[in-house]
Chains A and B, each alone.
Chain A
Amino acid sequence: MKKNKHYLLPDISRPGKVGCQLPELDVPAAELPPREKLRQELTLPEVSEAELVRHFTSLSRRNYGVDTGFYPLGSCTMKYNPKWHEDIARFPGFQDIHPYQPADTVPGALQLMFELQELLAEITGLDATSLTPMAGAQGELAGLLMVRAYHRSRGEDRRRKILVPDSAHGTNPATAAMCGFEVKTIPSNGDGNLDLKSLVSLMNEESAALTLTMPTTLGLFDPRIAEISAIVHERGGLLIGDGANLNSLLGKVKFGDLGFDCVQLNLHKTFSTPHGGGGPGSGPVCVKAGLADFLPSLLVAKDKKRYQFTSPPITIGRLGAACGNFGVMVKAYTYIHSLGAEGLKEVSENAVLNANYIKEKLKPYYHLPYDRTCMHEVVFSGKKQKARGVATLDIAKRLLDYGFHPPTVYFPQVVEEAIMIEPTETESKETLDAFIEAMIEIAREAEQNPELLHHAPHNTPVRRLDEANAARKPNLRWKMK
């Protein structure tokens, strides 16, 4: 990443410059509405194309992506994104088609979507898929709206509570609230597993579902999953999965076998479509047959050899004006086809191997709250360092000086000073060793020179930023006159 003097667009704007040309009007001009019905002023930057390219290239050099280096952001599955998948998504027959074209003009796109629905159903061990949710959180929304519709269809309106483990992603309780449910939190026990006593006491005739991330956000698989599923189902509830951590189960274990009724996936994590600096994502939702009629519209159906959009009979409705983030689906489809069943299994096995390797190597230096075999990610606590006045945030910022993107920090909230490391399968042992070495060095610095860490990062384009002031006096835009 580069330190350089940076500018905002208004700083480089000069009257009369243009960054793009459009052709002359080739039809007779029509009469415009009277002046008072037209826009009086529009101020946008005026920049030449060359300056525009320099501006954004300079910005890109102040940014860190997977292609820049190791990005062990826990819970985010920052794996390498094969370059040629991008090329395929840009084929004109995929990129330049309109969502409302007649179905018989887009059979290739519909077939791809149909097959992806089937592939994801097979991978999750569930019966039906809707690809329409545009990100994981929207997939969760679809899931819980289906839960609501399911219970109502059975005359069980009183089930208005959703049980959410305390280690869950924030989107789980937020989604439950958006769907009108009351959230009941279930604590974790000393092993990092769900506290079954609490589950038993809270899972009653007013509870609609348990939302569960498996493996959990602690990177641990709960061996009592069958028991959990039985408790929920015997009491009339549904087991809803957050598929954020599928990378550890890919090609080895099916959510359907574990008892899940519904799971949302993140194609932009597990299936190697890039994150785009925060999106676009894609959050397909897969369900057991009993929920299939509630799926969000649209689905792609195959009738003899014809593919077409359909809407399930008692759908929860539309989640977007089209059929989901097709451009992302193309890349995930390519990914699954390039790996096959064996390749997917190698993904999860290597992801789990890499995480356990980091766990063992760093265990002597950082507190490990749950000393068990982990899955695709490992959660440490910075409390040893905290005792010397060095916060997890300092450790994260110091890693930037060593050229690594920091892990996820302060999540899950159930671990004090959490440091959540997810290496993924696409990293080499050499990279892991270099990261481990940096972490060990930082642990040493925390003991010998804590001041150095308090002021980290030292080598980034900007130094530590004042977040408190940003929130106190929000400056959310520039203004141009």
Chain B
Amino acid sequence: MPSPYIPNTDQDCATMLRDIGAGSIDELFQDIPAPFRDVPFHLPPPLTELELREKLNRRSRQNASLDNYACFLGAGYYRHFVPGVIGHITGRSEFYTAYTPYQAEASQGILQAIYEYQSLVCQLAGMEISNAGMYDGSSAAAEAALMAGRITGRKNVAVLSSVNPRYREVIGTYGRGQDLTIHELPPDFKGMPNESACLVVQQPNFFGYFEEVKRCAEIAHGAGALLVVIFDPISLGLFPPPGSYGADIAVAEGQPLGNPLNFGGPGLGIFTCRQEHLRQMPGRVVGRTTDAEGQTGFVLTMATREQHIRRERATSNICTNEALVALAATVYLAAMGKSGLRRAAELCYHKAHYTAEAISKLKGYSLAFKQPFFKEFVIRCPQSPEKINRILLKEKIIGGLDVSHLVDNGMLLCVTEMNSRQEIDRLVSALRAL
């Protein structure tokens, strides 16, 4: 059966081979030594669209899709409302079937969208400049640590122990290549390790609570280190942005800005910093300029930082990033506007507090921390969170993340605008009934 994706007919192939002056397709592969050529591949037989849709639909239904469950799981990936308009815009194939916009005149659409993304993210984070995005929040945090190392010429990186443990691991992986030493500091730390390039804090932290970020900034800056902040973009609808409390580099997971969970990827690494550090910033960046007739236009710029120009002296090896996810974030921020984002943040805050209060009144449950929080909090449970989650599952509830290795019988719960009062009340009754 001819393939729908290969338009050459047998006749075309014969004509083309004749024009090339080759007797057969095999002749075109002569540079490959014969023993390596046309070896057997043990792959499943091909299936048509009809068959694969059915097979994969069945496969997808084996998963507990969160549209059928009440979900209280967060810990870095969040279920927030995704306005329908976003999928229709990212579904325009002029965007999603384009490559990185190297030819600016044919790519004004995505270039302007990224310029608007950079602008919106700066407005949101209160930071001066942004790149076009990185892979995810954790790799953006790791790149921030490397960048702080380049700026300060130092090899020590201090990370608060309240930073997402997975982010700490990724910083460790990236840091190894540059021989960075990672120091974990307790939340009540008094000072920085000698010769630290940066202090990495998460606001709100992994457990959902607000850190004393101003104090962190003072201590870090006092020691000549940069402050790297990992923020929750939705929280900035209600709470102060990293730029207002002294962040030198601020990064985030951008998935909550208009993207589904997708089992954790694709996400989006938001990366912002102060203008003075532009030349050390990793990743692609779009700038505004004019064309030969004086019209406004957009181009990839400051490319002398990047791998395709600077090779081993580049600020990072990153090439492909998450442009389409950045486009979704752009549409999201524009659709929500300032009132929408504030409202989303308020809904999260009030619903999370309603949930926390109701659970803390249950016998055997308590809140693990006293500090103010945003949309996540840790409860101490009367038994292992893993067991509780198994029981909740039968009630069509996906419970919180088991953090019992960090807090005794601790469960990290997340509540967003997606959780209705009915769902929350179901969770509370289920916990009560245990």
A137 in the interface (beta carbon within 8 A): yes
| A42: contacting residue among B73, B310, B325, B341, CB under 8 A | B341
Of the candidates A98, A349, A467, which one forms a contact with B261 in the assembled complex, judged by CB atoms under 8 Å apart?
Answer: A98
Q: Are B106 and A64 in contact (CB under 8 A)?
A: yes
Looking at the complex, which of B63-71, B215-223, B360-368 is the stretch in contact with chain A?
A: B63-71
Q: CB distance B73 to A56 under 8 Å? A: no
Q: Does A340 reach chain B (CB closer than 8 Å)? A: yes
Would A476 and B320 count as touching, CB distance under 8 A? no
Among A84-92, A199-207, A379-387, the one that faces the other chain is A84-92
Q: Which residue of A lies closest to B344 (CB)?
A: A22
> With an 8 A cutoff between CB atoms, is B41 at the interface?
yes
Q: Which of A159-180 contact B (CB under 8 A)?
A: 169-171, 173-180
A462 surroundings in chain B (CB, below 8 A): 104-105, 108, 291, 295-297
Known interface pairs A321-B138, A321-B167; A463-B292 also in contact (CB < 8 Å): yes
Known: A112-B59, A321-B166, A340-B46. A97 touches B350 (CB 8 A): no
Q: Does B37 contact A (CB under 8 A)?
A: yes
Which residues of chain B (41-88) have a CB below 8 Å from chain A?
A: 41-49, 52-53, 55-57, 59-67, 71, 73, 75-77, 79, 81, 83, 85, 88
Other A-B pairs beyond A99-B261, A106-B263, 10, CB < 8 Å: A30-B349, A38-B240, A91-B57, A105-B64, A134-B322, A339-B46, A461-B105, A464-B292, A469-B289, A476-B287
Task: State how many angstroms separate the Cβ of B428 from the closest Cβ of chain A.
Answer: 11
Q: Give the size range of B's interface with the partner.
A: 35 or more
On whether the beta carbons of B312 and A279 are closer than 8 Å, the reply is no
- A330 partner residues in chain B, CB cutoff 8 A: 56
Max count, chain B CB within 10 A of own CB: residue among A30, A96, A122, A135: A96
Q: Within B112-147, which residues are at the interface with A (CB < 8 Å)? A: 112-116, 118-120, 122-124, 129-130, 132-133, 135-139, 146
Judge whether B186 is part of the interface by a CB distance below 8 angstroms: no
Is residue B421 contacting chain A, with contact meaning CB distance below 8 A?
yes
Q: Is the CB of B19 within 8 A of A425?
A: no
Complex interface: chain A residues within 8 A of B130 (CB): 476-477
Chain A residues lying within 8 Å of B236, measured Cβ to Cβ, are 39, 42
Tell yes or no: A426 within 8 A of B by CB.
yes
B313 within 8 A of A: yes
Considering the complex, which residues of chain A in the window 60-79 have a beta carbon less than 8 Å from any beta carbon of chain B? 60-68, 71, 73, 76, 78-79
Does B321 contact A279, Cβ atoms closer than 8 Å? yes
Whether B338 is near chain A, meaning CB under 8 Å from some CB there, is yes
Q: A122 CA to B265 CA in the complex, in Å? A: 24
- The total of Cβ contacts below 8 Å across the A-B interface reads 666
Would B94 and A318 count as touching, CB distance under 8 A? Answer: no
Chain A residues with CB under 8 A of B285: 474, 476
The distance from the CB of B118 to the nearest CB of chain A, in whole angstroms, is 5
State whether the Cβ of A196 lies closer than 8 Å to any Cβ in chain B: no
Question: Which of B55, B73, B318 gathers most chain A CB within 10 Å?
Answer: B318
Q: Is B382 an interface residue (CB 8 A)?
A: no
- B52 in contact with A319 (CB, 8 Å): no
Known: A39-B241, A42-B338. A177 touches B312 (CB 8 A): yes
- B76, chain A: closest CB distance, angstroms: 5
Sample 8 A-B pairs with CB under 8 A, ordered by A number. A98-B73, A136-B319, A174-B312, A278-B101, A319-B173, A406-B103, A467-B289, A479-B123
Report whether A400 and B106 are in contact in the complex, using a CB–CB cutoff of 8 Å: yes
Within 8 A of B (CB), among A326-362: 326-328, 330, 334, 336-347, 349-350, 352-354, 356-357, 359-361
B284's closest neighbor in chain A, by CB? A278
